[in-house]
């Protein structure tokens, strides 16, 4: 099993993040429009706030995996003190986004947070399907 996969039966330390009082992501969830229709999305800044509200001593480690003048790839690992840990990767190109290095790092962090349960799929708003955006 890879680092970012969850077991079928979560332990008390691995329950979805909404089980802990203190931060409600629901007001911050927004709709993204895409080819497949709308999808719920929680910006990475709100996922970080959610994480820090619940685990102020969580560790976020990022690594620049690949970089050239046209593209960047980052790896991010988020570790919470209760034992949860997830890794995510993010890439971006200079042609798609001027600050592509920062954007790649943000994508990687967002994906790691999502794997730990800090994402729109864990909010209380109803969704038409179970798709999980980055």
Is 66 part of a structural domain of the chain?
Answer: yes
What was the pLDDT predicted at 129?
41
Is 6 part of a structural domain of the chain?
Answer: no
Kindly give the pairing relationship between strand 71-79 and strand 59-68: antiparallel
Is 4 part of a structural domain of the chain?
Answer: no
Residue 128 CA to residue 134 CA, distance in Å, equals: 17
Contact residues for 117 (Cβ-Cβ < 8 A; gap 6+): 15, 16, 17, 18
Long-range CB contacts (within 8 A, 24+) of 75-80: 75/108, 76/105, 76/108, 76/109, 76/111, 76/112, 77/3, 77/112, 78/51, 78/109, 78/112, 78/113, 78/116, 80/51, 80/54, 80/55, 80/116
What was the pLDDT predicted at 35?
78
CB 73 within 8 A of CB 91: yes
Is 58 part of a structural domain of the chain?
Answer: yes
Residue 61's domain is classified under what CATH number?
A: 3.30.390.80
Q: pTM for the complete prediction?
A: 0.75
Q: pLDDT by residue for the chain (134 residues), tens digit each? A: 344 333 333 333 444 444 546 899 999 999 988 877 788 999 999 999 999 999 999 999 999 999 999 999 999 999 999 999 999 999 999 999 999 999 999 999 999 999 999 998 765 544 334 444 55
| Residue 77: domain span | 12-122
Is 117 part of a structural domain of the chain?
Answer: yes
Residue 21 CA to residue 118 CA, distance in Å, equals: 14
Is 132 part of a structural domain of the chain?
Answer: no
Domain total for the chain?
1
Is 44 part of a structural domain of the chain?
Answer: yes
């Amino acid at each position: 099993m890879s680092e970012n996969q969850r077991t079928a039966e979560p332990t008390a330390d691995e329950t979805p993040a909404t089980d802990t009082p203190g931060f409600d992501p629901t007001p911050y969830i927004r709709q993204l429009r895409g080819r497949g229709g709308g999808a719920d999305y929680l910006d990475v800044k709100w996922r970080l706030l959610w994480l820090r509200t619940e685990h102020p001593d969580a560790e976020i480690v990022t690594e620049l995996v690949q970089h050239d003048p046209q593209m960047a790839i980052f790896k991010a690992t988020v570790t919470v003190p209760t034992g949860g840990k997830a890794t995510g990767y993010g890439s971006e190109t200079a042609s798609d986004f001027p600050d592509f290095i920062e954007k790649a790092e943000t994508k990687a962090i967002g994906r790691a947070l999502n794997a730990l349960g800090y994402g729109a799929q864990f909010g209380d708003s109803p969704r038409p399907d179970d798709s999980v955006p980055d």
